[in-house]
Chains A and B, each alone.
Chain A
Amino acid sequence: MATLTRQDLNFGQVVADILCEFLEVAIHLILYVREVYPSGIFQKRKKYNVPVQMSCHPELNQYIQDTLQCVKPLIEKNEAEKVVVVIMDKDHHPVERFVFEISQPPLLSISSDTLLSHVEQLLRAVILKISVCDAVLDNNPPGCTFTVLVYTRESATRNMEKVQVIKDFPWIVADEQEVLMQEPRLIPLKTMTSDIVKMQLYVEERAHKGQQNVP
């Protein structure tokens, strides 16, 4: 088993590729499972050897791709601490937050022959948890929308430049209203530990979804 640093073989890029691909699948699935968009715009696909739902709407797909393309450089440099898919009600108050907490080890102990298949198995388990998470979550109010928040390890303003990868896709610091949730219920979904990345996924759910969140 070899010990490598993050610079060796550009592992940051490999991790970013794997995670962004996973996040794309996860975001599509969350939007389907939590009924943020009509089920008619989704079609069944296969990823990580399990069935997943993927949007077929070009505008939505482009939005998700643009978002992740901007997040990628932060993951590559290990500067993204959390990527959060926030589902908001009509008044743009969060009702659910799917939190992907990411941690990458500075030193990598890798046995390359089993690495990718092992990571795929772990990611598959996370996807399967997302696909059944509606069983432990309350129904969302109608007219929900979503946004993706990125928590950085350093100052958000410092990292602002790094995410502006696409010209027509600017990033801003999120409003407090979109971030804060009063007394959320915490639902742990899955943790995974691999040689190249550690990740935990949990959901923060607003206690009374029908009522407005007053921060």
Chain B
Amino acid sequence: MDVCLHYKSDQDNSNDLVTISEKALEDFPRRVLPIFTPWFPSGTDRSCPIKPKKAPPVISFNQQKSSEFVPQQPEFVFSTSHCPDDQEKFVDTSKRKLISIPAPADEHSKADFENVAKKRKRSWSVFPPKTKTPQRTQYISRLFHKTVQRYGLDLHQRAKWIISELNCAPQSIEEVWSKLSHAIKHARLPTCNANYQRNLIQIWVYCDISYCEYIGNFLRENFQLSGELTLAVHKLGDIFKL
């Protein structure tokens, strides 16, 4: 690289000028800048999304297989307080499927239950409350277990009990609906929601397969239902009668 220096003719100190020029061409001193780190909220933080801490529920496909459907070892304590005696007799321990059910509140007597039910606002659909109730255990009978296996049903799959007008006699279906709404709202029927199909004059009580038998017995005993109750599953139709 050539450098031309232009200077006024009256300046005679050419040596000084050369020195000054040389200095001007020297590299500037440089220092390494520290990396900028913002102290509050950084761009990285902005790009981080948020998510619920709680994980969603896991419902396994494999539960349909019978080997996993029946637990190898009992994990819960049996309670026979809500099981009919005849079921208790023939259920082999190895075939028992233990599931948890909320206990009905003892203070709710049937009479009280009916009185409150009459005052309740009517609705075509009813859902359980969010709050959890104390848990007890229940099992599935061998007969129902076979049905579940035959159709390859998932324990968390929904099924519906169909209560028709004939099942309700001598009560009216409206009375049964009123009592049922009250029971579901007070978390006495685990996993249940129900619809009143007024055009069909039927009540549809939806629940998990694992609770079906308990729910069926509860409906029959507490609402004094007569005749056969039918259990239906979406796409399969009627699968069980109680």
Q: Of residues 146 to 178 in B, which have CB atoms within 8 Å of A's CB atoms?
A: 153-154, 156-158
Chain B residue at minimum C-beta to C-beta distance from A31: B56
A-side interface size class:
35 or more
**Given known contacts A43-B158, A155-B45, A157-B41, is B59 in contact with A170 (CB within 8 Å)?**
no
List, in ascending order, chain A residues with CB within 8 A of B55's CB: 145, 147
Complex Cα spacing A91 to B230, Å:
42
> B6 interface residue, CB < 8 Å from A?
no
Minimum CB–CB distance from B101 to chain A (whole Å) comes to 14
**Given known contacts A147-B55, A172-B51, is B45 in contact with A43 (CB within 8 Å)?**
no
Please state if B56 and A147 are interface contacts (CB–CB under 8 Å): yes
List, in ascending order, chain B residues with CB within 8 A of A160's CB: 50
Complex Cα spacing A174 to B47, Å:
10
**Given known contacts A43-B234, A158-B41, is B49 in contact with A149 (CB within 8 Å)?**
yes
List, in ascending order, chain B residues with CB within 8 A of A37's CB: 59
> B110 interface residue, CB < 8 Å from A?
no
List, in ascending order, chain A residues with CB within 8 A of B52's CB: 63, 66-67, 70, 147-148, 169-172
Chain A residue at minimum C-beta to C-beta distance from B158: A56
> A173 interface residue, CB < 8 Å from B?
yes
> B48 interface residue, CB < 8 Å from A?
yes
Main secondary structure of the interface of B (DSSP, over half): loop
> A62 interface residue, CB < 8 Å from B?
yes
> When the two chains form the complex, which single residue of B48, B154, B157, B158 contacts A173, counting CB atoms closer than 8 Å?
B48
List, in ascending order, chain A residues with CB within 8 A of B8's CB: none
> B46 interface residue, CB < 8 Å from A?
yes
> B191 interface residue, CB < 8 Å from A?
yes
> B30 interface residue, CB < 8 Å from A?
no
> When the two chains form the complex, which single residue of A60, A84, A150 contacts B57, counting CB atoms closer than 8 Å?
A60
Complex Cα spacing A86 to B61, Å:
20
> B54 interface residue, CB < 8 Å from A?
yes
Complex Cα spacing A168 to B191, Å:
20
Please state if B59 and A41 are interface contacts (CB–CB under 8 Å): yes
Q: Mark B23-47 against chain A: 1 for CB-CB distance below 8 A, else 0.
A: 0000000000000000001000111
Chain A residue at minimum C-beta to C-beta distance from B46: A155
> When the two chains form the complex, which single residue of B49, B50, B61 contacts A38, counting CB atoms closer than 8 Å?
B61
Please state if B45 and A156 are interface contacts (CB–CB under 8 Å): yes
> B216 interface residue, CB < 8 Å from A?
no
Minimum CB–CB distance from A169 to chain B (whole Å) comes to 6
> A151 interface residue, CB < 8 Å from B?
yes
Q: Of residues 87 to 146 in A, which have CB atoms within 8 Å of B's CB atoms?
A: 142, 145-146
> When the two chains form the complex, which single residue of A38, A58, A150, A171 contacts B53, counting CB atoms closer than 8 Å?
A171
**Given known contacts A41-B156, A43-B158, A58-B191, is B57 in contact with A174 (CB within 8 Å)?**
no
Complex Cα spacing A158 to B45, Å:
10
Q: Of residues 204 to 242 in B, which have CB atoms within 8 Å of A's CB atoms?
A: 206, 208, 233-234
List, in ascending order, chain A residues with CB within 8 A of B127's CB: 58
Nearest 8 CB-CB pairs, A to B?
Answer: A155-B41, A40-B157, A149-B49, A56-B158, A59-B57, A170-B53, A174-B51, A151-B49
A sample of 7 more A-B contacts (CB under 8 A), given A38-B64, A38-B156, is A40-B233, A60-B57, A67-B52, A151-B49, A156-B50, A159-B50, A169-B52
Give me the interface of A with B, judged by CB distance under 8 Å.
Answer: 37-38, 40-41, 43, 56-60, 62-63, 66-67, 70, 82, 84, 142, 145-152, 154-160, 163, 169-174, 178-179
